[in-house]
Structure 1
């Protein structure tokens, strides 16, 4: 019996590895030529030092075009389905911009096309785009990464420039030791700020990986243990591993694309699955500032690094729009929870006996209302 279990485990591991290797190889093979063209001319575009607006516009347009061209090269799962380029461009653009608008039924796409759409949703996610900005941020020469504080002026740099002004030479002579101390203090402030920005980039990267790994594994475990959810995917011919990953990416990025044509309505009798997706949606959207501060605080308590304390106390100076001050993050979280609670009450009071909730228990109705309230809240109340 032990030998058979070992063989079964080896077979399962080999199947999963071959499956993902095959699909990612197909996607990467079709995108290789297009990516090579972009990298060939990308450095020439960057040499002109365009504004952040044009950089982001070029980023999203390039992703949408590359995605649509690759989608056309990949074969759909339904042989009778002949996709038009305009449909593939629309689906690719909708995935990158997280618009949740589809012109093609999701079950018509093959596994390779779903992998590509999942990749586009991940690359177009607001948190991932913010992470790229953090990792590519450079010092502006005054110790202020990517610019300055809210007023565009670094007070430490201004003080340092004043002390070096020739018109203030007498002050520099009389207060020589003070100026030296100010320069040393300024240098320490520069280093701490730059290190803090780098630490923040690592924290956001860790946060992304943590949510996607734990979210995918939790959905995978639920489907493996609940027969009704597993039967839905089996009946539709949807791979469980790919469904778990794409659902997590879509939920975290607030893209709204699910592999089934019915979206999540087909899982209305599986409240456990809905409850697993709700925190993923919140973690990638309106409650991200709260969770980010919580992770930074926890890492600071465990490591004792000064950079984490600097991030919490000087969130405005960092320039990362999702790192909110403590009070503002608390007010935002309280507002989100309050609105969701009100929407759950409204859903239940208006639709409790309607056809929407037919055949569901009271617990399933409440969880369904919570899921719908959460989705609507995130769609119309995205990150401020």
Structure 2
């Protein structure tokens, strides 16, 4: 029996393409401090992978086939997955607003949860998992409009800049879609950073990301001897290490023996960044770049090819926000975030998409049946 609410049904009519369009619309409304962070979060928790696992006959077998390691289940990280977003500071308020919005949507039709939001008919997409009968109508404003309206309402109530809430609100919508509204409501809704870091202004965070290490009075004479700081958790004052000019992020991380890394995460065999092959063959060392992407060497041919095969990102940008740490050479201080899992799922997801596209073409343009002659 399907116990999904109207709000969940509405969300589940949005596939990867719909979400990509939504994020493109929202991008200009997101504060600079969370612009990269929001893109990174959606790369860390890809909707197509979630759906593939949900639809699999044997979920565990598919996870093993895709070499998924670590915690890739968003339902286990409802309050923590977005800790690296500045907007995480407002998570309790956003979470509460989402729950109220979902409840009101269920009572009065999706789109009625926020004051001033109009309605329009939502038509099911060909790939939807929740077909709607011709007698049923689900009313809703667009996904982007709902996110913006809810962020605006929370901003007014909390007396904060609306742009600081757009990214985290989008994250909350996707979290409901993947974790389910019931699990979402059960999460405590706590802020997972200490008071000292929570007090930082967005401008202060941006300044810290942009700052480079001083190389001393004669620093301009240094070449390969330059040293740069890599911050891998902006909410932990001890979460940083040094590396040399043009050293890749993974090699630099290996020199950090300040903690028992394997006890924290079995994938971390040396240093805070999980590593295995160091040759862009395994995908273990992927990271998100919050600040300083321009200070990393351009993506090389191998990194560009493999990062797409792994499924992490599909872009021709020379300095994207998702990198393989074993390939990304630093030419300045950078701030990164490390995902709690890794895998190799890009080829599999593309094969599913190609199969869906072929099915859609067959439905849209059925081949005419061969004519048979009637013999008198």
TM-score category, normalised to shorter length: under 0.3
Give me the TM-score of the superposition, normalised by structure 2.
0.25
Q: Which has the higher helix share?
A: 1
Say which one has the larger Rg.
Answer: 1
Q: In proportion to residue count, which structure has more strand?
A: 2
